[in-house]
Structures are given as C-alpha cells and as structure tokens.
Structure 1
Amino acid sequence: MKLLIVTQKLDKEDENLGFFHRWLEEFARHAARVTVIVSSLGTHSLPPGVSVHSLGKEKGSRKIRRLWRFWELFSYHYVRSDAVLFHMIPEFVVAASPFLLSLRRPAGLWYVHKSVTRLLKFAERVLDYIFTASNLSFRLPSKKVIYTGHGIDTEFFKPASSSPRPVTGLRLLTAGRISPVKDIETLIRACAFLKENWNREFTLSIVGGPLMARDASYSDSLKNLVEEKGLVNRVIFYGARPYTEIASVYRDHDLFVSMSTTGSIDKAVLEAMASGMTVVTANEAFRSLLPAKYFLEKRSPEFVAERIKAIAEEARPNLVLRELVVKNHSISRTVQEIIARLKNIP
C-alpha cells in the first residue's frame, strides 16, 4: 500500500505533536511507501520508505505560498498513492477537496476534539472515514466514524524496568498544555488542603507550557495562586518538556491527576496509565473507562484531596490501568485499524 499522510507538524521533540513521529514509524511497518506532507518540519529520523515534504512554515513561508505549495505537492503525490489520511486539520481536507472529488481514493481524517465546525462538517461529507479515539472524541453524528483507540506507544510509555527508588513523599504529576480548560487551579487548591490536613509529604509537578496568549495569563495566575497558598516548595512548574523525555517524567512520579474539562479522552492520562502510574481524573470521557475509584465525581478541592489520600498507598506500578491502555489504545491497534479501512472504500 502506498499511503499519503497530511499533518500540521513533524517534530519528534515537540511537546504536543511529537507522538506523531512514532505513528509514522508504525505506518511504515504496514505500508510499502509512506509520503508525508507537513506544514512545519522539525527534528525527525524516519525509516526508509518514508518521504517528507514541508510547506515551509518552519522557514517563515507566507500562508498563500504554503497553500500553493500544498496544491503542488498534494496533486503530485495523491495520484501516485493508494489512500490518504489527514491528521486533525479539516482545513487540509477542504484545500484538497477538488482532487478528492475528481479522483476517488480511500480517504480518512483522524480527529479527536469536541468542537464541530463548518469545515469539519464539510470534511465529513467529502471523506470516506473519520477515525477517532472514542464516541466522545468526535461529536458530529456520522456513519463514517471508526473508533480506533488513541494510538499510545505502550513500549515507549511503560513502567520502569528496575525497582523504584525509595522516596518518602508522594509525587503527584499533571502534564500537558497549560490552559484554563485543564482546571489546574482546583488541583492547586487541593494541594493547599492536603498541606493543612495530611501529615504525609508530597509534591506536585506541573509539566507543560502555554500555547496561546490567554494560556500564558492563566499560567501566571496559577503561579500567583501557588505563592498565595504557601506552596512554592511543594508545587513546581517545570515548563514544556520534549516529547522524547516525557516517558521518564511519568516513571519518576506516583500519581497522575487530570482535572481537564475537555470532555474528550486525554492522551496524557493514557500515557500515564501505560507508564504504570495510578491516575485520578475528573474528565467525563473517562467515567465509563476507569474503575470508579479513579474517577472524580466532584471537582471541589476537598473532594480531590480526599481521593488522593485514599489511593496514595496503592502499589506501583499499576498494571491494571496499564492493561486497559495496552488492550484498547495501543499504537499497533490504532494503525492497523486505519490501514485496514483505507484499503477499501466503503
């Protein structure tokens, strides 16, 4: 199979999109040739049989120039491919629609977000398949939706091979983009409650950084809250970390906490589970996926703190949670399902 893939960025070090480099490696195992068109190109080291073509955003190329470059690249490679997969960005589907409609090839979009835009509605009509992680990851009703799991690399994200180093305090972690939808302030307030009502030592690591201007303001407000609550020695902001380092971050902590309000399956939670961490989350998407004790029915700081206390002594690694990811969200399962579907037009 000769597969064409269109994505926004390829950079194995990127905090948010670094995982897709590993996806391309996996696609290369199942396709005779993989051709990738990217808006922006960074650090990469892909196997033979994978060719990458950039639209030049990393060099400052203007938007109109990138669009023209996209039409050149897509028109050339589309006719020489057996199928095409778009990753996350419906705008690419719109730009490619004249070619998709004039020459039929199996075509799909991977999309995991609760927003439903006009461009997404258009893309759904043009494409053969919509690939997504779960029923809450794609909110537009469609018979074209295929649930594939989230594509987690469970060999990269796995428990430490050696015995964990002895520690006296509980190491809490939350990771991912810092944004108001992550409700990190509730977690910080829960830490303030623990400080006053628990005699056990603990720390909270916040790993990730803001992307938008409003996110930067939110990050500043969180740091002010930490100072206000007297938690500067317990709550540490580590900023964004390269994707290649994040697996070791998970292994260095005990308990992952996610207060996200996105309503979609959070990839960071699954990565933490695959790494053998115990997790607690208030994200509604996990209500039916996790054993009840790991889901936070309430968002009050006191309730979060008490749940942390209740599961703090659980054995590590948590192999029960890891197995849920291996079974339902592994990268091999996701890629093989996508490949199988793209071999045929419905």
Structure 2
Amino acid sequence: MRLLIITQKVDADDPILGFFHRWIEEFAKQCERVLVLCLEQGNFHLPQNVSVASLGKERQRSKPQYVARFYRYIFAHRREYDCVFVHMNPEYVLLGSFLWRIWRKRIGLWYVHRQVNMKLRIAEKLSHVIFTAAKESFQLKSGKVHVLGHGIDTKKFFCADPKMKNKEPLILSVGRITKIKNLETLVRAAGLVKTRIAEKFVVRIIGDAVTAEDRALKTDLERQIFDNGLAGTVVFMGSAPHGQMPEVYCSADLSVNLAPTGGLDKAVLESMACGVPAFSSNRAFAPLFGPLAPSLLFRHGDPEDLAEKITRFFAASPSGIGARLRQSVIAEHDIASRVSDIAGLLDDLA
C-alpha cells in the first residue's frame, strides 16, 4: 500500500506532537511508500521510503497559501498514493475528499477529542473509515468507527531502573496548562497532602501556557501557590522535548491527570508505560486500571479525594503496581500493533 498522511506537524522534538514521528516510522514498516503532508515541519529523521512536505507554517505563510499548496500537492502526487490517513484535523477531509473520491482514494480519519463540531460531522460522512483511541474519544454515532487504542512507544517509554527516584517524592503532571486540565485541583490537593505527611515532596507541572487565556490561568495558579505557602513544592517546569519525556516520567513516583471523563489522555498512558502509577479523574481509564481503579481514580474537581489517595499511596508504598500498569498499556496501546491495525484496515479498503 502507498499511503498519504496528512498531519499537523512533523517534528521529533515537539513537546506535544513529537510522538507522531514514531507513528510515521511504523507506517513506513507497513507501507511500500509513505507521503507526509504537514502544516509545519521541524526536525525529523525518517526511513527512505518516507517523504515529507510542508504547507509552510514554519515560513509564516498565509491560510490561502496553505490551501493552494495543499491542492497542488495532492494533485501533483495523486498517482503516488492509494489511501489517505488524516490525523486529527477533519478540515483536511473536507478540503480533499471530493478529489480523493474522484480518484478512488480511500480516506481514513484518526480523531481523538471530546469536541464535536460541524467539520467533524461532515468529515464523518466523507471518510470511508474512522479510527479512535476509545469509545469516549469519538462522540458521534457511526458505523465507520474502529476503536483501536492509542499508539504508545512502549519500548521508548520504559524505565530500565524504576527505583532510581529523587530523594524527595515527586508528583508529576504533564500537559498543556489550560482550563480543562483542572490544575487548581492539583494545587489545592498538594496543600492538603502537605498537612498530612511529614516528608517533603515536590509537584512538577510539565507543559506550557499557549494562549492568552492559558497564560492568565497560569498567573492565577502561581498566585494560589504563593498564597497557600506552596512555593518550592508546586513548580512549573515548562515543556520538555518529546524525546526527553521517558526520563521525565522515570524520575517521578506518581503522575496525576485531572482532565474530565472523555478520551484517553496520552500522558496517562505514557506514565503507565514507564511503570509510574497514574492517578486520574477520567473514568474512561477504569477498564485499563482494572482492580487498581479504586486506588487510582479520584472524583473530578475534588482535591480532598485526590489528596486522600495520594496520602494513602505514600503511606503504603505499594510494590508491583507500575509493572501491572505497564503490561496493560503494552497489551492495549502499543504503537506497533495500533499502526499495523490502521494500515491493515486501510489496505482492505484499497
């Protein structure tokens, strides 16, 4: 199969989208040829059967220029691909589907988000097949949907020596600083934990504030941290390159994800893959946590419940949890299996 991939960014170092570099590598193993058209490109090193072209965001091109370059590319290379895989951006399905269907190209859309808008509704009608990570990750009813799990590089996200931790217990939160991440609950929970255990601990927040609203939120959180005497306990670390994230996870004793129930947040799965226990308020993780769910799931927006479960974890120092969580991710979310499934389903349509 010869595959055209449409994605937002190809950059192995990007803190948010760097993971997709590994997806492309896996697709290269499954396909005769892979063409990648991205909105923006950065640092990449891909197999010889992969070519990458950019719509030019890194050169600050305009939106009309993006669209013109998009059409020029899909037309010029129309004889070099059999199927199209659109990653997370349904607008590209809207832009390209008319021509792709005339040329008898099969269209697959990967979508993992709570949001349902008109673009997604139309893209669902125009795509031949839709892939998502969990049933909560795609909110439209459709017979085209295949729930496959996420694609986590479990060989990369692995702690060779999980006992190599900091002297002080370390709690990690990974992801963009934005309202839906509910970081104020983590700050309040940290204040409660501080009153309940004698041991000093640190909470590191890994991620950036991207928009003006995000930056205002971060300023407010910094004020809360200062007002509650948590300076030095709760620390904003900024983002880290994707390639450094396994080391970041492996330095932690546990991670916390505070998003509401919905799609499976990749940060939780990466933590689990590293054998680092992950606490979450997203009940979609209950099946993956299995019998550990009562200990790892906390009520959304409830700092008291989170603080209680963190305190119990530190008091019990349970062994074997990390290994069990890692095996769950390997079984259901390993990148090689997921990409193989996607390629197989697309190939069956061609």
- Shorter-chain-normalised TM-score: which range? over 0.9
1:48, 1:275 → 2: CA distance? 30
The more displaced of 309-318 and 173-182 is 309-318
The CA deviation at 1:99 is 0.9
Deviation, structure 1 residue 344? 2.0
Gaps of 5+ in 2: none
Separation (CA, whole Å) in 2 of partners of 1:58 and 1:213 = 21
How far did 1:315 drift?
A: 2.4
* Contact 1:151–1:334 (Cα < 8 Å) also in 2: yes
Q: 1:81, 1:298 → 2: CA distance?
A: 45
Structure 2 partner of 1:57 = 57
Which SS does the other structure have where 1:169 is aligned? Answer: coil
Instruction: Work out the CA distance in 1 between the residues paired with 2:162 and 2:147.
Output: 36
2-side partners of 1:141 and 1:230: how far apart?
48
CA contact (8 A) 2:162 2:250 kept: no
Match status 1:294 vs 2:293: no
Q: What pairs with 1:36-75 in structure 2 (closer than 5 Å)?
A: 36-75=36-75
Tell me, in whole angstroms, the C-alpha distance in 1 between the residues paired with 2:162 and 2:326: 17
For 1:7 and 1:19, how far apart are their aligned partners in 2? 12
Unaligned runs of 5+ in 1: none
Equivalent residue, structure 2, for 1:230:
229
Q: Is 1:246 aligned to residue 248 of structure 2?
A: no
Name the structure 2 match of 1:307. 309
The residue that corresponds to 1:8 in the other structure is 8
Structure 1 counterpart SS, 2:80: coil
CA displacement 1:150-192 (0-9 Å, x = unmatched): 0000011012x23633644321000011111011111110110
Say if 2:131 and 2:146, in contact at 8 Å, map to a contact too: yes
Paired residues of 1:110 and 1:131 also in contact (CA < 8 A): yes
Q: Which residue matches 1:126?
A: 126
1:263 and 2:262 equivalent? yes
Number of matched pairs: 345
Alignment check: 8 A CA contact 2:97 2:107 kept: no
Q: How do 1:160-239 residues align onto structure 2 when only pairs under 5 Å count?
A: 161-162=160-161, 164-165=163-164, 167-239=166-238
Contact persistence 1:254–1:316 (CA under 8 A): no
Moved over 6 A (4+): none
Q: How far 1:233 moved relative to its partner?
A: 1.6
State the SS of the aligned residue for 1:7: strand
Instruction: Report how far residue 300 of structure 1 moved.
Output: 2.0
Q: Is the 8 A contact 2:165 2:250 kept in 1?
A: no
- Cα distance in 2 for residues equivalent to 1:299 and 1:64: 42
Indicate the residue corresponding to 1:320 in structure 2.
Answer: 324
Q: Aligned equivalents of 1:128 and 1:163: distance in 2? A: 43
Matched-pair contact (CA < 8 Å) for 2:259–2:300: no
* Residue pair 1:256, 1:280 contacting (<8 A) in 2 also: yes
Percent identity of paired positions between Structure 1 and Structure 2 = 38
8 A Cα contact 1:78 1:84, kept in partner? no
TM-score (norm 2): 0.95
Superposed CA RMSD: 1.5
1:278 — aligned with what?
277
Work out the CA distance in 2 between the residues paired with 1:152 and 1:163.
19
Q: CA deviation at 1:316?
A: 6.4
Q: CA deviation at 1:219?
A: 1.1
How far does residue 78 in structure 1 lie from its aligned partner after superposition?
Answer: 3.2
Give the aligned partner of residue 30 of structure 1. Answer: 30
SS of aligned partner of 1:306 = helix
Task: For 1:162 and 1:20, locate their aligned partners in 2 and report how far apart those are by CA, in whole Å.
Answer: 26
- Alignment CA distance shift 1:322-1:125 (3 Å): same
